[in-house]
Structure 1
Amino acid sequence: MALSRTACAMYVCDVIGCGPPPPPPPPMPKDILPYGLKPKKKWEVEGPLKRANWKTIIPQKMSEKAFWVKVQEDKLASPDILTGLAQKFSSKPVAKKNEDAVDKVHTLKKVKDLKVLDSKAAQNLSILLSGSLKHMSYDHIRTCVLRCDTTVLTADVLDLLIQHIPPADQLKKLSELKCKSEELTEAEQFAATVADVKRLVPRLRSLAFREHYPEIISEVKPDIVSGTAACEEVKSSGKFAKILELLLLLGNYMNTGSNNAGAYGFEISFLTKLTATKDLENKQTLLHYLVETIESKFPDALTFAEEMPHIDRAARVSMENVQKSLKKMENDIKALEMDLNNARVPQSPDDLFNENMASFAVEAREQCDLLHSMFRKMEALYGELAEYYVFDPHKYTLEEFFSDIKTFKDSFASAYQENVVARETEERARRAREARATAERERRDRQHRYKQFVDMERAQDGVMDSLMEALQSGSAFSRERPRKKANPRVAGEDANEEESLVQAILQRIAAERRAQLSRSRSRSGLTGPLTSRELTNELLSNA
């Protein structure tokens, strides 16, 4: 009776006296935090907030090397960050047209009956032969195949030949009918001509591989280089780490009181969902607030994208496609090496396959081995990145991971520009409000000065009117006569004194009227000094 592996081990240990194997360690309880992690701080929030809809990472799934083990996001907290967050994020079928495509069927003009090939295979070969090979004889094409002449057999021609060359059994039948070529169609005549080339299709495939080789290298190698560099850049970027740490703080604060509160980490895919959380006014998003906070508190982190120059290219790298390309390359090289081994003896003097392809096979093998080594390094680095950010690399592919990072990077830059535009718009509006307030103050001041001026002129006009009235009535000259002095005045002195007083009053009136008239002329747009006639008329009109 067969024993299980464990029973066998116990039996051997009993025989040699080593005792039973130690039991496996029990799984760690979910309530015990590994690696010295401490419970997350519980925030006190006034009023409900919108939630950060992330998928959290439990500590038991983390390794000691995980990024989240070292994160201490509560040290980034400040009252203005959390208060601003609470203020901003308080909760509050096209019909398809069915177009019938008309298939144009090109019928082969049958001059002769097909002996071996079916109509579709013959038609495909005929189309090929009527293209770039139109003016070449079938024997010349056969010679080009033997000589590996890729000036005639271009990559596209080789691909079509590989696709449309009849299978080996049909080629054998056509080779036997070659002597009766006049009875064969054009397509069958061509197939019969090249049918005697040994290992025809493998040779064509090797030639096609050599023609496509630069294209394969130019696609695969940069992808591996970009993927490798991007893995190293994301893991080593201190600025990106600061953003993740700050985002963990914001999310935990927003999720206070929910099942997602007190998270130790979140899935990287959450970075692409920041724009889904709108603020109270539905104008900005959580991403805008994150950018604004970074700009004011951690401005160095704004340029995190500069530490990841290979992200854009890495976002287009599919490890599965690279692996398939390398596997196909490996198979093509093995087939080429086998063909070279079988073609040591030339088929004819025109057979230059070994001579032309041997050095290429060595170069391709070296390059393929190098690419395989580079791919393994990229794969290992991505595995380390998966351990660092705690995700399954088989479920969250390299292409998806870097696409999410690229999306976040681009959205971050857009949000920053939108914040700048919003600030500039607000600044222009503020300056416009200040300008309107200044203009209103100046208008009120002008009105107040004008009112004062009008009141002053009215007061002056009242004084002048009173003086003129006093002159006309003579009351301006009536005054109490002083007592007679010991030496009385000479007759006529009182009359002269009164006359001097009248002259002084008239001069004062004239000066006041001249000034008033000058102001009136200035407001009316008139210039020049007052004439005697104007002054006299003005005085007489007011007398």
Structure 2
Amino acid sequence: MIDILKPVIILFFCILWMIYLIDLHIYFTISVLRKQPLTPVVPMRPLYWTRIIVTSPPPEIIAADEVEQEALWHKLEEANIENINEFTDLFSRQIVERKPPKKKAEQTSKQQAMKILDSKRSQNVGILASSLHVDFSEIENAIYNFDTSVISLEALQQIYEVRATKEEIEKIRGHVEAKPEVPLDKPEQFLHELAEIPNFADRIACFMFQSEFEDGISTIDSKLNNLKSTCEFIMTSENLKKVFSIILALGNYMNGGNRTRGQADGFGLEILPKLRDVKSKDSSVTLLHFIIRTYMKGLPDPLATDIPLPIPEPGDIDRASAVEFEDIETDLKQLQKDFSICQKKTEKVIASSNEEHLQPFKEKMEAFLTEGQKQLTDEFDNLEECKQKFLTVMKFYQYVPKGTKISEVPPKDFFALWSPFCKEFKDIWKKEQQRVMKEKVQEAKRKQEEKKKSLTVKTVKKEEGGLKSKLQKMLKMDDRSNSFT
């Protein structure tokens, strides 16, 4: 008998233990909530966010260097919503009578010039040489003096790309030595003259790399600096904090009385792109519209031209989202590798050039290499600083990634939550400003019409028996008596 009851007894105690754990969890959850329960005057539409509860450790165990990295929700207070009655009316839960489901219906000449190149290769070189429209001396000047005033860098790059191969130049020089009386065809002559410039290929390669390096460094620097400034903005902007305090206040009001979503100290960023989808009971306005209107009502003049957008620019968010730390690190390492190759080519040209053709190549390249090495070092440091800044901003918002460590989250995952929110916010922001402007114009017209009505003059007739009339008569009588005397 005992053996038969044993599984039932074990099951009974297991159920009791689970009930105890649930009650314990609820007790500790309630005990750490900083905010008092809130009960809206009427049932509200819920806002399905991820509630964040702040559990502050005692001050003495917080390290001094951690103060600046304290999460947003530790200090952010809910905004005072003055138009809460309007909000309650708009976003209260609409009572819908459930109708019984309907059953769905079932459904189913002169001396010929020497040609050495093949015809296609000859044609390509000939077209380029003819398209330059300059004497060959100008090409020499550009290569020796880094002068692109006559021949552009793009043209020099094209010249570099059509340069003769080792086999081609050997054949061309062999013909010149064997039969100097037989002229070379124009394409072959062009390649021959290029090959006669000392270190022609290395000089142009160094020249082109300068431009490529500057473009590459500038692109990387722009990406990283935009990411840093965007992270800085969303951590320090007081205007953005004001927007978030409004979201927090409205969300807690909507979730009032709910034990898992109410009394929140903060919210997961996953709710940001969903704010535009929460509509009022008559679908006339979204929650994001109401948030923006509430923010604008707190401004001294919502139409002032110097009022900044309180959220990051959508373009900045998109550029930050496109940053891939691994790709940038790869690009920097490739630049560093190409930089070392350029350095070796520079040393080779300097070592083999005669005094006549040494400058300004030596001076310009040495200056470039010194500055370039500094820029590379700065950008590697910049990359590490950006990684740390990005990690800090995720911790600031207590962002919890799915299926990966926070240190491995790419910017695109984090900023994907911001991008639709910022785009929609900016669009509504502009429309709300236009709406406010229209209301002000209508108000001004109304006041003007009222003023016109008030200026209507009423004509009043003089009373014959009045004091003024009597005085006038007395004066006239005096005048007459004086005239008789």
**TM-score normalised by L of structure 2:** 0.60
Q: Whole-Å Cα distance in 1 between the matches of residues 40 and 218 of structure 2?
A: 55
Q: 1:297 to 1:203 in 2, by over 3 A?
A: same
Is residue 2:33 matched to residue 1:38? Answer: yes
Residue 385 of structure 2 is matched in structure 1 by 377
Q: How does 1:38-117 map to 2 (within 5 A)?
A: 38=33, 43-45=38-40, 49-50=44-45, 52=47, 56=50, 65=69, 67-70=71-74, 75-76=78-79, 81-90=83-92, 115-116=116-117
Residues 224, 383 of structure 2: 8 Å contact kept: yes
Q: Whole-Å Cα distance in 2 between the matches of residues 167 and 362 of structure 1?
A: 32
Is residue 2:240 matched to residue 1:232? Answer: no
Residue 193 of structure 1 is matched in structure 2 by 193
Q: How does 1:96-495 map to 2 (within 5 A)?
A: 115-116=116-117, 119=120, 121-131=121-131, 133-137=132-136, 141-142=139-140, 144-165=142-163, 170=168, 174=172, 176-177=174-175, 179=177, 185-195=185-195, 200-211=200-211, 220-221=220-221, 224-254=224-254, 261-262=261-262, 265-268=266-269, 270-271=271-272, 273-296=274-297, 305=308, 316=319, 318-320=322-324, 326-327=332-333, 329-348=335-354, 350-352=356-358, 353-391=361-399, 393-396=409-412, 407=423, 410-411=426-427, 413-421=429-437, 423-424=439-440, 427=443
CA offsets 1:104-150 (integer angstroms, 9 cap, x no match):
xxxxxxx989644572x54443333222x32323x763564345444
Identity, % of aligned positions: 20
Q: 1:116 to 1:242 in 2, by over 3 A?
A: same
Instruction: State the Cα distance separating 1:33 from its structure 2 match.
Output: 8.2
Q: Whole-Å Cα distance in 1 between the matches of residues 166 and 241 of structure 2?
A: 61
Unaligned runs of 5+ in 2: 1-23, 58-65, 95-111, 400-405, 457-485
Instruction: State the Cα distance separating 1:88 from its structure 2 match.
Output: 1.3
Instruction: State the Cα distance separating 1:337 from its structure 2 match.
Output: 1.3
The one-letter code sitting in structure 1 at the alignment partner of 2:323 is: M
Q: Whole-Å Cα distance in 2 between the matches of residues 146 and 306 of structure 1?
A: 52
Q: 1:235 to 1:194 in 2, by over 3 A?
A: same
Q: Whole-Å Cα distance in 2 between the matches of residues 31 and 127 of structure 1?
A: 82
The one-letter code sitting in structure 2 at the alignment partner of 1:134 is: H
- For 2:350, what is the secondary structure of its paired residue? coil
- For 1:396, what is the secondary structure of its paired residue? helix
Q: Whole-Å Cα distance in 2 between the matches of residues 32 and 172 of structure 1?
A: 90
- For 2:352, what is the secondary structure of its paired residue? coil
CA offsets 1:84-104 (integer angstroms, 9 cap, x no match):
222113455xxxxxxxxxxxx
Q: Whole-Å Cα distance in 2 between the matches of residues 91 and 260 of structure 1?
A: 19
Residue 463 of structure 2 is matched in structure 1 by none
Residues 178, 189 of structure 1: 8 Å contact kept: no
Instruction: State the Cα distance separating 1:164 from its structure 2 match.
Output: 3.9
Residue 3 of structure 2 is matched in structure 1 by none
Instruction: State the Cα distance separating 1:71 from its structure 2 match.
Output: 5.4
Instruction: State the Cα distance separating 1:280 from its structure 2 match.
Output: 4.0
Q: Whole-Å Cα distance in 1 between the matches of residues 51 and 163 of structure 2?
A: 56
- For 1:344, what is the secondary structure of its paired residue? helix
Aligned residues: 386
Q: 1:46 to 1:367 in 2, by over 3 A?
A: same
The one-letter code sitting in structure 2 at the alignment partner of 1:233 is: F
Residues 269, 404 of structure 1: 8 Å contact kept: no
Q: Whole-Å Cα distance in 1 between the matches of residues 445 and 89 of structure 2?
A: 23
Q: Whole-Å Cα distance in 1 between the matches of residues 166 and 277 of structure 2?
A: 61
Residues 113, 185 of structure 2: 8 Å contact kept: yes
RMSD of aligned Cα (Å): 5.1
Q: 1:157 to 1:356 in 2, by over 3 A?
A: same
- For 2:412, what is the secondary structure of its paired residue? coil
Q: Whole-Å Cα distance in 1 between the matches of residues 72 and 191 of structure 2?
A: 66
Residues 144, 153 of structure 1: 8 Å contact kept: yes
Instruction: State the Cα distance separating 1:367 from its structure 2 match.
Output: 3.0
Instruction: State the Cα distance separating 1:194 from its structure 2 match.
Output: 2.6
Residue 480 of structure 2 is matched in structure 1 by none
- For 1:343, what is the secondary structure of its paired residue? helix
Q: Whole-Å Cα distance in 2 between the matches of residues 432 and 140 of structure 1?
A: 74
Instruction: State the Cα distance separating 1:244 from its structure 2 match.
Output: 0.9
CA offsets 1:484-532 (integer angstroms, 9 cap, x no match):
xxxxxxxxxxxxxxxxxxxxxxxxxxxxxxxxxxxxxxxxxxxxxxxxx
Q: 1:340 to 1:273 in 2, by over 3 A?
A: same
Residues 117, 170 of structure 1: 8 Å contact kept: no
Q: Whole-Å Cα distance in 1 between the matches of residues 147 and 449 of structure 2?
A: 79
- For 2:261, what is the secondary structure of its paired residue? coil
Higher alpha-carbon Rg: 1
Residues 309, 426 of structure 2: 8 Å contact kept: no
Q: Which has the higher contact order (CA 8 A, sep 6+)?
A: 2
